[in-house]
Structure 1
Amino acid sequence: MTAPESQARRRPYPGLRPFRCDESNLFFGRDEQVDQLLDTLAESRFLAVIGTSGSGKSSLVRAGLLPALASGVLTRPIADGPAPGTRWSIAELRPGEHPFRRLAASLPVGAAPGRDSNPIDSLEQDLRRGPRAIPWLLGVQPLPPGERLLILVDQFEELFRYRRADPAAAAAFVALLLGATAHPDCFIVITLRSEYLGDCSRFPGLPEAINAGLFLTPRLTPEQLADAVQLPARLPEFNGDLTPGLVRRLLAEASGEQDQLPLVQHLLMRLWDRTAPDADGVRLLNETGYDALGGLQQALNDHAEEALAELNEPGQPAIAETLFRALTERADGEHDTRRPVRISEVADLVGATPDQVIACAAPFRRLDRSLLMPAPE
């Protein structure tokens, strides 16, 4: 573990980024929803977690569902499938521009025997055999006894961008996921922004699978949100708390807006870093600190400006502007999409070297900011 990573884990709040699987002890307010996810997964084998941007879909799956599965907890047994205590192997990916290759890199099984080429290349070729490729692979190379496979496709909406470049391959990838559930030991979970739900009708069989395994991420109730902001700080390893007045202010500002949840976590992370423990060693977050940060949106704006101010070499602000523009894409008549971009692509656009682009991205990727991903580690 690096020193920055160790420091980040001493915070009870992750900031803008989603919760990780190893942060389930910090993830409060969603117990009822996790139980519902387990029920739906048990019934359908294909679980679609839908919600607006910032609604907490990825956190709910990573810090809620996956740890619950790892602990052997299921709210109901799965017919002819996993029972409590089952071991789970997780293959996690984002589709990006190479969904077959990313799936091949994440799977716990290899290519069919007899291949001499690169293992990932071979497995990718096997996955392109057809909709039943995964059941076939698991027949050739069975999972260990008592083990089940869960394939998590996060930010499934990236597949619609891939579809514009290669419609046939995108359809084949969706068919591969749908066909995987024919194997009794294989389960699929996708997370999808709700504004893209209608686009799923472009793929045969996908609307039916989503209807059977739909989980629409609900808003946190005031009581659940209060738990989410108070209980992490109260863990013994942190020895902190929030004043009742601050809790009321946070609930009032975040009420009714799902996309405020990352901003709440970000503000609390900033407030935690700026609050010193008292004489008893308790770190008490209060309204005075909240006002000093200017509220949810102002705290984020100021933090981004601080990062931008660190770019003091000639040409760096222009590189940063190009980088952020490249990360957003809008197609005609469609939604804005977060677009993964290669460092070399940004370097070509702005006439810089890859090292110069990396240097400009660094202030925005710090663990105490998470304005850009991936994180430094």
Structure 2
Amino acid sequence: MSQTDPTAEEFIPFMSFTSLRETHRELLKQRRALKDGDNEDTHWAAVTDFLQRGEAAGAFIDNTEDREAAQGLLDYWHNQLFHAGKDTPEAVLVEFDAMSQPEIPDSRCPYIGLDSFGASNKDQFYGRDQLIQELLDQVLVSRLVTAVGPSGSGKSSVVLAGLLPRLREGALEGSKTWHYYPPIVPGSAPLTSLARLLVPDGAETAEWITSTSEAFLSDAELLTKLVQDAVKSPAVLTIDQFEETFTLCHDERERDAFIDNLLGLVNSREARHVVILTMRVDYESYLNKVPLFEALYKQGLVRVTAMNASELHDAIEQPAD
């Protein structure tokens, strides 16, 4: 008998060795459950279907070990049919066909690769519950909170996809009603980045950003005033990659004004505003240049360390559930 056509309409091929093996196990259970005198026709029909689907599954199984194991299962049931005196369809795996692999859109993949997590994919972010809780605990007692760790440790992800969504959902008393500014990075002109974040409705954007950036240089309370005028609730300002304040901004006066305005915001008596930072650990020494800021930084510091085995398991398994 010739090999079964994998495109035949009367059966659907197994799409993987795993599904073929699971059906094999079900057939074994079914076989063991048969008693003397039972009508076995239904069972043998299921075996025949298994062999046809299994033969065609070869088009989808490329791993050599899986192909050998699959062929062994087909041989087993082929022999069972033969000894039962039934018609035995040929059961030799067809060749693997790379063109037969299903196209799976990227949107179906539960993993985002090497990119950082953010608000848009927070539902796929797992494995950092303990660290998120540490950050939440720190927000309770500190108004300047910093997630610090090596490059690639997940600092940005734990803040943008972990801490901030939890705060927005009300993880702390009142945090659901706080005002959350979109996260920014300092870049080479941190005052411009800050001003761009605060443009009021109806303002001439470019002109307002320029004039406000300049005003920050002489007024360390300007950020606080602008926030107070814009919102009536505590505000949360998030600055990702804070080390850029030192590595990309080469204007010491601008850098100092940026940091002074952040200090003014977290020290405000009008409302309990919070500033959340992420920073690479290898740039901590730069904070020696700003001792007042460094003192607050140390009070609200949370170290981002490598995941333990349990956290890695959650990060891998749970997005795919």
TM-score under structure 1 normalisation?
0.53
Within 5 A, what are the aligned runs for 1:74-89?
74=172, 77=173, 83-89=174-180
Q: What residue number does 1:41 align with?
A: 139
Does the CA-based 8 Å contact 1:23-1:63 persist in structure 2? yes
1:290-326 Cα offsets, whole Å, 9 max, x none, are: xxxxxxxxxxxxxxxxxxxxxxxxxxxxxxxxxxxxx
Structure 1, 120-129 or 29-38: larger mean CA deviation: 120-129
Tell whether 2:262 aligns with 1:177. yes
**Alignment-derived partner of residue 247 in structure 2:** 161
CA contact under 8 A between 1:44 and 1:212: conserved in structure 2? yes
User: Runs ≥4 in structure 1, deviation > 4 angstroms?
Assistant: 108-111
Distance 1:199 1:93 in 2: 20
Corresponding position of 2:123: 25
Conserved? CA contact 1:110–1:119, under 8 Å: no
TM-aligned CA distance change 1:51 to 1:116, over 3 Å: closer
In the other structure, the counterpart of 2:184 is 93
Q: Higher strand fraction: Structure 1 or Structure 2?
A: 1
| Superposition deviation, residue 136 in structure 1 | 2.1
Distance apart, 1:100 and its partner CA: 0.6
Deviations 1:19-61 (A, max 9, x none): 1112111111111211111111121110111000010000000
State yes or no: 1:51 paired with 2:149: yes
Q: Residue 232 of structure 1 corresponds to which residue in structure 2? A: 319
Structure 2: where are the runs of 5+ without partners? 1-104
Q: Could you say which residue in structure 2 is the equivalent of 1:282?
A: none
1:69 corresponds to which residue?
Answer: 167
TM superposition shift of 1:17: 0.9
Q: Aligned partners of 1:127, 1:8: CA distance in 2, in Å?
A: 44
Match of 1:211 in 2: 298
Query: CA offset at residue 186 of structure 1?
Result: 2.0
Cα pair distance change 1:91/1:124, threshold 3 Å: farther
- Matched letter for residue 181 of structure 2: I
Q: Could you tell me which of 216, 232, 235 is aligned with 1:149?
A: 235
- Deviation of 1:120 after TM superposition, in Å, equals 2.1
The answer on whether the counterparts of 2:235 and 2:273 sit within 8 Å (CA) in structure 1 is yes
Report the alpha carbon displacement of residue 123 of structure 1 after superposing the two structures with TM.
Answer: 3.0
Of residues 176-185 and 46-55 in structure 1, the stretch that sits farther from structure 2 once superposed is 176-185
- Of 185, 193, 214, 2:280 maps to 193
* 1:210 to 1:117, Cα distance in 2 relative to 1, 3 A: closer
Task: Provide the rounded CA distance (Å) in 2 between the counterparts of 1:69 and 1:54.
Answer: 24
Q: Distance in 1 between matches of 2:149 and 2:209?
A: 32
SS at match of 1:19: coil
| Structure 1 residues 118 and 90, CA gap change in structure 2 (3 angstroms) | same
Pick from 214, 230, 239 the counterpart of residue 125 of structure 1: 214
- CA shift in 2, pair 1:208/1:71, >3 Å: same
Instruction: Check the 8 A contact 1:91/1:149 in 2, yes or no.
Output: no
- Secondary structure at the counterpart of residue 215 of structure 1: strand
SS of residue matched to 2:220: coil
Distance in 2 between the 1:233 and 1:117 partners? Answer: 45
Deviation at 1:118, TM superposition (A): 1.9
Measured after TM superposition, the shift of residue 156 of structure 1 is 1.1
| CA distance in 2: counterparts of 1:85 and 1:160, whole angstroms | 33
Query: Identity over aligned residues, as a percent?
Result: 30
Cα distance in 2 for partners of 1:11, 1:148 equals: 37
Root mean square deviation, CA, Å: 2.4
Residue 182 (structure 1) shift: 2.1
Q: Measure how far apart 1:222 and its partner are.
A: 0.3
Q: Tell me the secondary structure at the aligned position of residue 276 of structure 2.
A: strand
The CA distance in 1 between the partners of 2:223 and 2:107, in whole Å, is: 37
Task: Assess if the C-alpha contact under 8 Å between 2:221 and 2:261 holds in 1.
Answer: yes
Q: Which runs of 5 or more structure 1 residues have no equivalent in the other structure?
A: 1-6, 78-82, 235-377
Give the TM-score normalised by structure 2: 0.62
Partner amino acid, structure 1, of 2:237: I
**How many Å separate the matches in 2 of 1:121 and 1:168?**
16
Paired with 2:154 and 2:264, the residues of 1 have a C-alpha distance of 28
CA contact (8 A) 1:21 1:67 kept: yes
Q: Deviations over 1:78-126 (max 9, x none)?
A: xxxxx24323322321111111111111236469x9x897232233234
- The whole-number CA distance in structure 2 between the counterparts of 1:205 and 1:174 is 10
Q: How many angstroms apart in 1 are the aligned matches of 2:181 and 2:205?
A: 26
Letter in 1 for 2:258: F
How many equivalent residue pairs?
A: 216
In 2, the alpha carbon distance for the partners of 1:174 and 1:90 equals 17
SS class of match (1:94): coil
SS of corresponding position for 2:148 = strand
Aligned mates of 1:30, 1:24 — CA distance in 2:
12
